[in-house]
Amino acid sequence: MIALVDCNNFFVSCERVFRPDLEGKAVVVLSNNDGCVVSRSNESKAMGIRMGTPFFQIRHLVDNGSLKAYSSNYALYGDLSDRVMSILADTVPRIEVYSIDEAYLHLEGIPDEKIPVMCRELVVKIRKWVGIPVSVGLAPTKTLAKISSHFAKRHKGYRGVCMMDTEEKMLKALKLTPIDEVWGIGRKLAPKMKDWGIATAYDFVQRPEEWVSSRLGVNGLRTWKELQGIECIEEENEQRRKTICTSRSFADMIEDEQELSLRVSDFAAVCAQKLRKEGSAAGLVTVFLYTNRFRDDLVQYFPSLSLKLGVAANSTHDIVGTALKALKLIYRSGYKYKKAGVIVSDIVPSDSVQGSLFDFDEELRQKMDRLSAVMDEVNSSGTSVLRLASQRSGHYADGIRSEFRSPLYTTSLDEIIEVH
């Protein structure tokens, strides 16, 4: 049995922890740059607001007071996500963090009859400790657990936990699940499925194995088996590299911040390129500096700092920007630096990245992808010639719009809640 724990309307729920008065009200969270809707409360869903709706189309609702909109506050969402994940990790033998708001629980060694009670306790505990509502889907495979969590979320009667433990329940759920909601089918395949007369997950598993493998190949077959309770999706990150490091000792020691920024930008850009090459994205960027430890006559300083990305990323823009932020925080003048490096970690498959721009701000995502692709192509000639402006100038333009950002309640002591 495997469990998928999914935070309900995660970004909106994060905002509500510190604004309890927004419970029961229509709330949305906007993507980077306040472009479009990336998270909706049930009330705003009921108003007909869809995922990805451009902000300008709903601005009048905010102005007339019927809708509350927030800019993305990834520092807050990342922190609350860590809290949820740590509670899960303390409870079960092994968890697999799938995205900022989802994790699989591997339940080896826990007797089946104890699992639902344990999961229900988790739902209550996470709500109480962190303030976040979660749903749990239990099933024999990951693909089914995902479907199961949808049921747990949509139907109040489950009280947050849905267990798909009999053949009968499984078939019933498959009949009620539109094919485009199945994990692994996605937006690209959905129209084809319609052409083939497949409307639900149940229709899909009725097709013979040969039919599926000839049309959809290995991946389609995997989904087909998973839907029938045959486990085939392995833990995804294992064969991927856990960290990527790019560093270098300098021929001459470097004291100047501009000069260091240039080098660090280059290292970060190489890391980003490697991430894209292996189809992954990183959630954490670390920058470190070494002075020359063999020079007793000089003052020594070996700082390092890790910054979390709101959403795992692999674009040159994101990785370089974050690395430069970290550098700015650790750089001190008056030292002669001999070595610097960038490490990216918390690596996940890039297709599992959920949240802001990857899924919904399609235009921005495509722009980033195109930019990165062009850079990869030009740079693959061997000499790095194409760079972001920041790689040259050492300045990172942080011109992201966030008109309605909530305070950094958990990551900045200056912005904690006020208590009267």
Partner 1 sequence: MMAQEGIHAGFPSPATDYMTQAIDLNKELVRHPAATFYGRVVGDSMIDAGVDEGDILVIDRSLDPRDGDMAVCFINGEFTLKYLKFRPHLELLPANDRYPAIVVREGDDFKIWGVVTYVIKKVR
Which residues contact partner 1 (rule: CB under 8 A)? 20-21, 83-84, 86-87, 128-131, 241-249, 266-267, 270, 288, 293, 302, 304, 341, 343, 409-410, 413, 416-420
Nearer to partner 1, 314 or 410 (CB): 410
Q: Provide Rg for the chain, Cα atoms.
A: 24
Closest contact distance (angstroms) between CB of 28 and partner 1 is 21
Closest contact distance (angstroms) between CB of 82 and partner 1 is 8
Closest contact distance (angstroms) between CB of 266 and partner 1 is 8
Q: For Cα atoms 82, 83, 86, give the angle at the middle one, nearest 5 degrees.
A: 85
Nearer to partner 1, 228 or 247 (CB): 247
DSSP character for 50?
A: P
Distance CA 306, CA 327 (A): 10
Nearer to partner 1, 161 or 268 (CB): 268
Residue 280: partners with Cβ closer than 8 Å, 6 or more residues away = 240, 241, 314, 347, 348, 349, 350
Closest contact distance (angstroms) between CB of 89 and partner 1 is 10
Quickly tell me which residue has 């495509």 as its tokens.
366
Nearer to partner 1, 33 or 410 (CB): 410
For 353-390, give one letter per residue: b (16+ CB within 10 A) or e: bbbbbbebbeebbeebeeebeebeeebeeeeeebbbeb
Nearer to partner 1, 374 or 416 (CB): 416
Closest contact distance (angstroms) between CB of 221 and partner 1 is 33
Nearer to partner 1, 241 or 367 (CB): 241
The gap from C-alpha 286 to its chain's centroid, in whole angstroms, comes to 18
Closest contact distance (angstroms) between CB of 21 and partner 1 is 5
For 204, 256, 340, the CA distances from 333, given in Å and listed in that order, are 63, 8, 15
